Structure 1
């Protein structure tokens, strides 16, 4: 699954200015700098793939496991349905 553009992921965030002059940057540069310093989206995607494989190994055939990586709040949610 391709990663969404960083401007789409961080577009609604209001607290990205971390450095002294970040408030002076246009959103495009602020988003790129935040991504470079604080986010590892490719690493998160690899981890989610590995976690889904590990979960698939330990689940019984009666369970359906859905993994979704929320790109707005950067958290992994696991929903197990029987």
Structure 2
């Protein structure tokens, strides 16, 4: 779900999604998702992105944990992407 459109959270209920990643979710949306068994990630929450790893583990999806600081990692990735162009 994109930033600034909280109404589009209704899509998780209409489309029977298993995982929903959003910039921001209302408390009601979170409660509804929990009741329906939809795994959700709220990126705006402090360390919200970390919940994604919990969902991957819950669903037995292989992944690697982030070892270094996220800001440092993102800076390195962006530097590499800029150098490619």
Report the TM-score, using the length of structure 2 for normalisation: 0.29
Greater relative contact order, per chain length (Cα 8 Å cut-off, separation 6+): 1
Give the structure with the higher percent strand. Answer: 1
Max radius of gyration: which structure?
1
Give the structure with the higher percent helix. Answer: 2
